[in-house]
Structure 1
Amino acid sequence: MAQQSEALAIEPRNAILEAAAWCFMERGFNATSIDDIARELSATKGMVYHYFDTKAELFFEIHHRAMDALLDEVTPLATASMPASQRFTEMAQRYVRTLILTRHYQRTVSEAVQMLLRSTTTASQRLQLTRLQERRNHCESLFLTVLEQGMAEGSMRAQRPRVAIKPVFGAMNSVINWYHPREDETQEQLDQLVGEVVDVALQGVMLRG
């Protein structure tokens, strides 16, 4: 709690976003109130409202930060000077690792996609969700471009790349639903887990020598 109080004093906006992300992940957006977020922070509701006008504003900023985390990791690798298959693998490793490390943010994004599909939002919220979906599509397009380059190099395969990329992302994204951190988990164990997820996710598009 002391660390949380210190974070709230030093970077209150970030501390509120962290607390909100955990609440949204655990309770869902609709079931989470500003009071819940304030309790998570051991702060007042007025503190939260000082930085964020509405729960929806919190919700969407969390989404953008989740996408920032993923894009910051994979974008530089998409044009790196290495064979496409190696780039694709390293992009996937960074993507999965970032999903794990920012799981509370990513789970909130996952809920947003479902909200969009169910059309249970206002027109303004749907516009925000559509913009976020465009960012997710951009992330997918980075992987798709490298897959197509790998096919041209003869190291990767797909009958229809735009179809093949979907199960790759399905397998990678699934980690946020079943992964639960352990207190005694080591960096080596996390690295092994990331490697196993990536191996499964990429087995359909990689040509093995």
Structure 2
Amino acid sequence: MDIMNTDTSASKTEILDAAARCFMELGVNVASIDDVAHRLGSTKGRIYHHFRSKDALVSAVRLCAVQFTHQAVGPVKDNTLPADENFRNMARAHIAAVLSHFAYCKVFINTLSGVTTKSLTPQEQVLQQEIRQATSAYENLYRDVLRAGMDAGLFQDRNVSITLHSVVTMLNAPAQWYVPGRPDNEEFQQTLIDQLADMALGSLR
């Protein structure tokens, strides 16, 4: 299920946007369906029409975060380029996606350890499985690029999985510390994208 595809209703998109903001600002454990409904200026029934529980809504926001980065990075990947140039372009697209969909990505990072220990409903189970599949598919975009760089001597020869998860963690770092709304926001974001992509690339050499 593509949560944010072209067939997604405007109502569902509004719910997801409001939920991402609420979960980011209040914290996933604190924010409630009531808070999301209040931000929307609507009833809880509107939310429950699409998402049968708070955990399902959190999972949908997390899935969107992965999809947003995949949609940004996938078209940029070009295996005809040298692996280092290819990786840098992909890294820049990833960081730009984090900044463009900041609330979604921050919720994703803040919930990597999970948000619930209760039994999952069928809808929650489906979403959790789709998050795992989407995350794996996104990570696979990088695997052949990293291997190609290692084979060409452009990157140090290391365990690909360790390298992959380490650099993706670095690329996601702005979701942990960046504060949107700076007076020099556009200029600073460009500096952030360029500098962090260069740092990630440098860590591979």
Measure how far apart 1:181 and its partner are: 1.2
- Residue 68 of structure 1 corresponds to 67
Alpha-carbon distance in structure 2 between the residues aligned to 1:13 and 1:130: 20
- Residue 50 of structure 2 corresponds to 51
Measure how far apart 1:79 and its partner are: 4.0
CA change 1:80–1:143 in 2 (3 A) is same
Structure 1 runs (4+) deviating above 6 angstroms are none
Q: How does 1:32-51 map to 2 (within 5 A)?
A: 32-51=31-50
Deviates more, 1:197-206 or 1:74-83: 74-83
- Residue 152 of structure 1 corresponds to 151
Task: Tell me the C-alpha RMSD between the 2 structures.
Answer: 2.3
Alpha-carbon distance in structure 2 between the residues aligned to 1:186 and 1:31: 29
- Between Structure 1 and Structure 2, how many residues are aligned? 195
- TM-score w.r.t. length of structure 1: 0.82
- Residue 5 of structure 1 corresponds to none
CA change 1:61–1:123 in 2 (3 A) is closer
Q: How does 1:120-131 map to 2 (within 5 A)?
A: 120-124=117-121, 125=124, 128-131=127-130
Q: How does 1:188-203 map to 2 (within 5 A)?
A: 188-203=187-202
| Aligned partner letter, 2:85 | Q
- Residue 93 of structure 2 corresponds to 94
Deviates more, 1:102-111 or 1:128-137: 128-137
Kindly indicate whether the alpha-carbon contact (under 8 Å) linking 1:34 and 1:45 is maintained by their aligned counterparts in 2.
Answer: yes
SS in structure 2 at match of 1:135: helix
Identity %: 27
5+ long unaligned stretches in structure 1: 1-9
Give the helix-richer structure, 1 or 2: 1
**1 or 2 for the larger relative contact order (CA 8 Å, sep ≥6)?**
2
Alpha-carbon distance in structure 2 between the residues aligned to 1:158 and 1:54: 45
SS in structure 2 at match of 1:114: coil
Kindly indicate whether the alpha-carbon contact (under 8 Å) linking 1:167 and 1:201 is maintained by their aligned counterparts in 2.
Answer: no
5+ long unaligned stretches in structure 2: 1-8
Alpha-carbon distance in structure 2 between the residues aligned to 1:50 and 1:141: 34
- TM-score w.r.t. length of structure 2: 0.83
Larger Rg: 1
